[in-house]
Amino acid sequence: MKSLEEIVEILKNNLPDVVLEAHSEIKFEPFILIPSDKIDKVCLFLRDNPELYFDSLVNLSAVDDFNGQKIKDEQGNEIMTGGTMSVYYHLESIKFRHKLLLKVTTERDDPIVNSVVTVWNSANWHEREAFDLFGIKFNNHPDLRRILMPYDWEFGHPLRKDYQNPEFYQGMKVPY
């Protein structure tokens, strides 16, 4: 079992070019904030380091932080520009029984995060889901398609907080 401080220490010593921020002020779960273009590198290190050995990605969840500027579009609907989106990675080491939460923030208007599919295969569908529902693009993802929504859904990404339902989809009325 390694504590968060120890893990941060190991990371700082081995990956000096990655800017890390450890946050433990938010309730319940402390996390490490990592730049979105370094996440795959950090994850690969975390998996392969014999002291840490995070061999399992338990969960990957995207969040629309909804902290930009609210403006009205031409139809009068409230939409948002600016702000951030986050991706949370819950890691676990089955061997050492320790857990870690990583967080990545990216621009809400053009969210791009490096994919970790090469590190853990379990990230594959989680990242597809994040792309489908939030529109986060994952660099180097082998198969970035929609997963839960229809493949020809062209009305945006439903879990964004300012998402508007379309009137019609394929000639069918959407709001019932």
The site for other proteins, by CB under 8 A, has a size of: 33
Question: Is residue 149 part of the contact set for other proteins (CB under 8 A)?
Answer: yes
Q: Which of 13, 16, 17, 28: binder of other proteins (CB under 8 A)?
A: 28
In the complex, what is the shortest distance from the CB of residue 127 to other proteins, in angstroms, rounded to a whole number?
11
CB 147 within 8 Å of CB 60: no
* H or E element in which residue 7 lies: helix 4-14
Among 20-28, 35-43, 74-82, 108-116, which window interacts with other proteins (CB under 8 A)?
A: 20-28
In the complex, what is the shortest distance from the CB of residue 13 to other proteins, in angstroms, rounded to a whole number?
26
CB 111 within 8 Å of CB 134: yes
- With 0-12 CB in 10 A as exposed, 13-18 as middle and 19+ as buried, what is 138? buried
CA-to-CA distance for 134 and 127, rounded, in angstroms? 10
Binding residues for other proteins, rule: CB under 8 A, are 26-29, 55-59, 61-64, 88, 90, 94, 97, 101, 120-122, 124-126, 133, 146-150, 158-159, 161
